[in-house]
Amino acid sequence: MSDREFQGYVHVRQDSGQCMFTLRANLASTKIKAAVKSATGVAFPNRGLCEVSEGCTLAWMSPDELLIMVPTAQAQKLLTGLEAALEGLHVLLEDVSDARAKFILSGAHVREVLGKLAPMDCHPAQFPVGSFNRTRFAQVAGAVFMEQEDLISIICFRSVQDYVFTLFCDAVAPGSEVLL
């Protein structure tokens, strides 16, 4: 997987240096929360949010699904730690790195580009920094998280990565600014 990029009025870049793990478990359980927190060193995210610490990201996907993102270099260590911490609890932990693709949008107008493609409220009051949302980008499902005011991460299935990359390149094409 190559890290392709495109410079429009917002910069689009693929980020293949992240490993992703899916944890299916009851996220309301204090035991699960404590185990994940001790293994990752990241605060447990509340509903609709994500938490980041030292490159490791935890994102709230649904009441029973957590997405754990970590740079590839740290992945094996983290996975071993998680498996140990969750030993004996009713969970399913799976490496989904090869099933997903991640893109990074950066620039002053990232909210507008997101608003062009996803049917969601991108206003800072509704989607502040640190928010995480699962939605769709044009025709395919995806997830988005607001890392910084001018930096958004996009996650989609690997099978539709070409579609999503092309979609965002088109949305950031010079001359297509709305700038309301």
Query: Footprint of another protein on this chain (CB under 8 A)?
Result: 47-48, 61-63, 65, 119-121, 133-136, 141
Name the minimum Å distance from CB 17 to another protein. Answer: 27
Nearest partner of 123 among 107, 137, 134, 112, judged by Cα: 112
DSSP bridge pairs for 178: none
Question: Which residue type does 68 have?
Answer: I
Nearer residue to another protein within complex by CB, 61 or 82: 61
Rounded (10°) CA dihedral 161, 74, 76, 61: -50
Nearest partner of 47 among 38, 59, 30, judged by Cα: 59
Name the minimum Å distance from CB 178 to another protein. Answer: 20
Name the minimum Å distance from CB 133 to another protein. Answer: 6
Nearer residue to another protein within complex by CB, 47 or 77: 47
